[in-house]
Chain A
Protein backbone atom coordinates (compact mmCIF):
# COMPACT_ATOMS: atom_id res chain seq x y z
CA UNK A 1 0.00 0.00 0.00
CA UNK A 2 1.02 3.60 -0.56
CA UNK A 3 1.05 5.32 2.82
CA UNK A 4 -0.15 8.91 2.93
CA UNK A 5 1.21 11.04 5.75
CA UNK A 6 -0.74 14.23 6.36
CA UNK A 7 0.15 17.17 8.59
CA UNK A 8 -0.79 18.89 10.74
CA UNK A 9 -3.49 16.75 12.32
CA UNK A 10 -5.33 19.87 13.38
CA UNK A 11 -5.04 23.62 13.24
CA UNK A 12 -7.02 26.64 14.33
CA UNK A 13 -6.98 29.88 12.40
CA UNK A 14 -8.89 33.13 12.27
CA UNK A 15 -11.13 33.98 9.37
CA UNK A 16 -9.17 35.67 6.60
CA UNK A 17 -5.95 33.80 7.25
CA UNK A 18 -4.24 31.39 4.89
CA UNK A 19 -3.93 27.70 5.73
CA UNK A 20 -1.46 25.15 4.39
CA UNK A 21 -2.00 21.40 4.72
CA UNK A 22 0.75 18.98 3.75
CA UNK A 23 0.53 15.46 2.38
CA UNK A 24 3.44 13.13 1.72
CA UNK A 25 3.21 9.80 -0.08
CA UNK A 26 5.48 6.81 0.54
CA UNK A 27 6.15 6.55 -3.19
CA UNK A 28 5.88 8.84 -6.17
CA UNK A 29 2.37 9.53 -7.48
CA UNK A 30 3.69 10.84 -10.79
CA UNK A 31 2.86 8.58 -13.71
CA UNK A 32 5.38 9.08 -16.47
CA UNK A 33 2.92 8.01 -19.15
CA UNK A 34 0.82 11.16 -18.76
CA UNK A 35 2.97 13.29 -16.43
CA UNK A 36 0.10 13.50 -13.95
CA UNK A 37 0.19 13.14 -10.19
CA UNK A 38 -2.59 10.87 -8.93
CA UNK A 39 -3.55 12.92 -5.87
CA UNK A 40 -6.93 14.26 -4.73
CA UNK A 41 -8.16 16.38 -1.83
CA UNK A 42 -11.50 16.15 -0.02
CA UNK A 43 -13.36 18.32 2.45
CA UNK A 44 -15.64 16.70 5.01
CA UNK A 45 -17.85 19.06 6.97
CA UNK A 46 -19.52 17.89 10.20
CA UNK A 47 -22.37 15.50 9.52
CA UNK A 48 -21.70 15.34 5.78
CA UNK A 49 -20.00 12.95 3.42
CA UNK A 50 -16.62 13.87 1.91
CA UNK A 51 -16.68 16.33 -0.96
CA UNK A 52 -14.11 16.22 -3.73
CA UNK A 53 -12.23 19.51 -3.86
CA UNK A 54 -9.25 18.81 -6.12
CA UNK A 55 -8.00 16.01 -8.34
CA UNK A 56 -4.87 15.58 -10.45
CA UNK A 57 -3.13 17.49 -7.64
CA UNK A 58 -4.36 20.90 -8.73
CA UNK A 59 -7.57 20.65 -10.77
CA UNK A 60 -10.50 22.09 -8.85
CA UNK A 61 -13.76 20.20 -9.02
CA UNK A 62 -16.63 22.15 -10.54
CA UNK A 63 -18.01 24.72 -8.11
CA UNK A 64 -15.02 24.73 -5.76
CA UNK A 65 -13.89 28.28 -4.96
CA UNK A 66 -10.49 29.36 -6.23
CA UNK A 67 -9.47 29.95 -2.60
CA UNK A 68 -8.60 26.25 -2.61
CA UNK A 69 -5.30 25.60 -4.35
CA UNK A 70 -3.54 22.28 -4.75
CA UNK A 71 0.10 21.92 -5.62
CA UNK A 72 3.03 19.53 -5.51
CA UNK A 73 4.54 16.65 -7.40
CA UNK A 74 6.12 13.28 -6.83
CA UNK A 75 5.73 12.58 -3.13
CA UNK A 76 5.03 16.01 -1.64
CA UNK A 77 1.73 17.83 -1.97
CA UNK A 78 0.01 20.84 -0.44
CA UNK A 79 -3.52 22.16 -0.10
CA UNK A 80 -3.63 25.90 0.47
CA UNK A 81 -6.80 27.63 1.57
CA UNK A 82 -6.56 31.38 1.27
CA UNK A 83 -8.80 33.86 3.07
CA UNK A 84 -10.34 31.15 5.23
CA UNK A 85 -14.06 31.47 5.92
CA UNK A 86 -16.03 30.14 8.88
CA UNK A 87 -17.72 27.72 6.47
CA UNK A 88 -14.35 26.06 5.79
CA UNK A 89 -14.59 24.33 9.17
CA UNK A 90 -14.02 20.71 8.18
CA UNK A 91 -11.65 17.77 8.05
CA UNK A 92 -9.47 17.72 4.94
CA UNK A 93 -8.09 14.51 3.47
CA UNK A 94 -5.59 13.78 0.76
CA UNK A 95 -6.03 10.57 -1.25
CA UNK A 96 -3.79 8.85 -3.77
CA UNK A 97 -5.24 6.92 -6.68
CA UNK A 98 -1.98 5.78 -8.27
CA UNK A 99 -2.61 2.33 -6.79
CA UNK A 100 -5.31 0.92 -4.51
CA UNK A 101 -6.78 4.11 -3.02
CA UNK A 102 -5.43 5.22 0.34
CA UNK A 103 -6.11 8.34 2.36
CA UNK A 104 -4.16 10.61 4.63
CA UNK A 105 -5.14 10.68 8.28
CA UNK A 106 -6.99 13.97 7.94
CA UNK A 107 -6.47 17.57 9.06
CA UNK A 108 -9.11 19.12 11.24
CA UNK A 109 -9.50 22.82 10.52
CA UNK A 110 -11.04 24.92 13.26
CA UNK A 111 -11.92 28.59 13.05
CA UNK A 112 -11.00 30.74 16.02
Chain B
Protein backbone atom coordinates (compact mmCIF):
# COMPACT_ATOMS: atom_id res chain seq x y z
CA UNK B 1 0.00 0.00 0.00
CA UNK B 2 1.30 3.41 -0.92
CA UNK B 3 2.17 5.70 1.96
CA UNK B 4 3.47 9.26 2.01
CA UNK B 5 5.14 10.98 4.95
CA UNK B 6 6.12 14.63 5.24
CA UNK B 7 9.07 15.77 7.33
CA UNK B 8 10.90 19.01 8.01
CA UNK B 9 11.25 21.91 10.42
CA UNK B 10 8.14 23.01 12.22
CA UNK B 11 9.37 26.58 12.63
CA UNK B 12 10.87 28.86 9.99
CA UNK B 13 11.88 32.49 10.34
CA UNK B 14 10.42 35.15 8.04
CA UNK B 15 12.43 35.76 4.85
CA UNK B 16 14.07 32.33 5.10
CA UNK B 17 13.34 29.23 3.01
CA UNK B 18 10.94 26.47 3.97
CA UNK B 19 12.16 23.00 3.04
CA UNK B 20 10.12 19.82 3.37
CA UNK B 21 10.61 16.21 2.37
CA UNK B 22 7.99 13.70 1.29
CA UNK B 23 9.07 10.08 1.67
CA UNK B 24 7.08 7.59 -0.37
CA UNK B 25 6.77 3.86 0.32
CA UNK B 26 4.81 1.25 -1.55
CA UNK B 27 5.25 2.89 -4.96
CA UNK B 28 8.20 4.15 -6.96
CA UNK B 29 7.79 7.82 -7.83
CA UNK B 30 9.39 7.31 -11.24
CA UNK B 31 6.81 4.67 -12.21
CA UNK B 32 3.91 7.04 -12.78
CA UNK B 33 1.62 9.82 -11.56
CA UNK B 34 2.25 13.35 -10.35
CA UNK B 35 3.56 14.06 -6.87
CA UNK B 36 2.11 17.17 -5.33
CA UNK B 37 2.46 19.56 -2.45
CA UNK B 38 -0.65 21.17 -0.98
CA UNK B 39 -1.25 23.24 2.10
CA UNK B 40 -4.10 24.13 4.43
CA UNK B 41 -4.04 27.51 6.09
CA UNK B 42 -5.48 28.40 9.49
CA UNK B 43 -9.10 29.09 8.67
CA UNK B 44 -9.30 26.00 6.44
CA UNK B 45 -8.36 27.37 3.02
CA UNK B 46 -6.72 24.64 0.92
CA UNK B 47 -4.18 25.41 -1.80
CA UNK B 48 -2.45 23.22 -4.35
CA UNK B 49 1.16 24.36 -4.61
CA UNK B 50 2.65 22.29 -7.40
CA UNK B 51 3.83 18.88 -8.48
CA UNK B 52 6.68 16.94 -9.97
CA UNK B 53 5.79 14.27 -12.49
CA UNK B 54 7.12 10.73 -12.61
CA UNK B 55 9.44 11.87 -15.40
CA UNK B 56 10.75 14.87 -13.45
CA UNK B 57 8.81 17.74 -15.00
CA UNK B 58 7.28 20.31 -12.71
CA UNK B 59 4.10 22.38 -12.66
CA UNK B 60 3.57 25.16 -10.15
CA UNK B 61 0.67 27.22 -8.95
CA UNK B 62 1.14 30.59 -10.71
CA UNK B 63 0.60 32.39 -7.40
CA UNK B 64 3.80 30.77 -6.08
CA UNK B 65 5.83 30.43 -9.23
CA UNK B 66 8.56 32.87 -8.25
CA UNK B 67 9.14 31.30 -4.83
CA UNK B 68 8.61 27.55 -5.22
CA UNK B 69 10.77 24.66 -6.30
CA UNK B 70 9.89 20.95 -6.24
CA UNK B 71 12.68 18.46 -6.77
CA UNK B 72 13.25 14.77 -6.10
CA UNK B 73 15.79 12.13 -5.14
CA UNK B 74 14.85 9.00 -7.03
CA UNK B 75 17.41 6.89 -5.17
CA UNK B 76 15.57 7.58 -1.92
CA UNK B 77 12.07 7.69 -3.44
CA UNK B 78 11.58 11.16 -2.02
CA UNK B 79 10.46 14.51 -3.36
CA UNK B 80 11.01 17.91 -1.85
CA UNK B 81 9.43 21.31 -1.46
CA UNK B 82 11.36 24.52 -1.20
CA UNK B 83 9.49 27.76 -0.66
CA UNK B 84 11.61 30.88 -0.56
CA UNK B 85 11.17 34.23 1.16
CA UNK B 86 8.47 33.00 3.51
CA UNK B 87 6.22 35.29 5.51
CA UNK B 88 3.79 34.66 8.32
CA UNK B 89 1.16 34.07 5.64
CA UNK B 90 2.94 30.83 4.74
CA UNK B 91 2.05 29.37 8.13
CA UNK B 92 0.05 26.26 7.28
CA UNK B 93 -0.18 22.51 7.43
CA UNK B 94 1.70 21.11 4.43
CA UNK B 95 0.68 17.89 2.72
CA UNK B 96 2.25 15.77 0.04
CA UNK B 97 -0.10 13.76 -2.13
CA UNK B 98 -0.38 11.67 -5.28
CA UNK B 99 -2.91 12.38 -7.95
CA UNK B 100 -4.53 10.11 -10.52
CA UNK B 101 -2.53 11.44 -13.44
CA UNK B 102 -3.56 12.73 -15.90
CA UNK B 103 -6.41 13.79 -13.62
CA UNK B 104 -5.60 16.14 -10.79
CA UNK B 105 -7.62 14.74 -7.92
CA UNK B 106 -5.81 13.28 -4.95
CA UNK B 107 -6.28 9.78 -3.58
CA UNK B 108 -3.19 9.34 -1.45
CA UNK B 109 -2.12 11.92 1.12
CA UNK B 110 0.50 12.16 3.80
CA UNK B 111 -0.63 12.98 7.34
CA UNK B 112 0.61 16.55 7.00
CA UNK B 113 3.18 18.63 8.83
CA UNK B 114 2.52 21.93 10.52
CA UNK B 115 4.91 24.75 9.66
CA UNK B 116 4.87 28.04 11.53
CA UNK B 117 6.62 31.09 10.16
CA UNK B 118 7.63 33.28 13.05
CA UNK B 119 10.63 35.17 14.34
A interface with B by C-beta (< 8 Å): 1, 38, 40, 42, 48-52, 55, 61, 91, 93, 95, 97, 100-103, 105-106, 108
A-B interface, 6 closest residue pairs, ranked by CB to CB distance from nearest: A97-B104, A49-B109, A103-B46, A40-B105, A101-B48, A106-B44
Tell me, rounded to whole Å, the shortest Cβ–Cβ distance linking A54 to chain B.
9
Contact count A vs B, C-beta below 8 Å = 52
Contact B44 A95 (CB under 8 A): no
In-complex Cβ contact of B44 among A49, A102, A105 (8 A): A105
Binding site for A on B (CB under 8 A): 44-48, 59, 61-63, 95, 99-100, 103-107, 109-112
Nearest-neighbor residue (CB-CB) of B60 within chain A? A100
Residue numbers in B under 8 Å from A103 (CB-CB): 45-48
Closest chain A residue, CB of each to CB of B61: A100
Question: B111 touches which one: A38, A49, A97, A108 (CB < 8 A)?
Answer: A49
Chain A residues near B100: list those with CB within 8 A. Answer: 55
In contact, B46 and A100 (Cβ under 8 angstroms): no
Contact B107 A93 (CB under 8 A): no
- Are A97 and B109 also in contact (CB < 8 A) when A105-B44, A106-B44 are? no
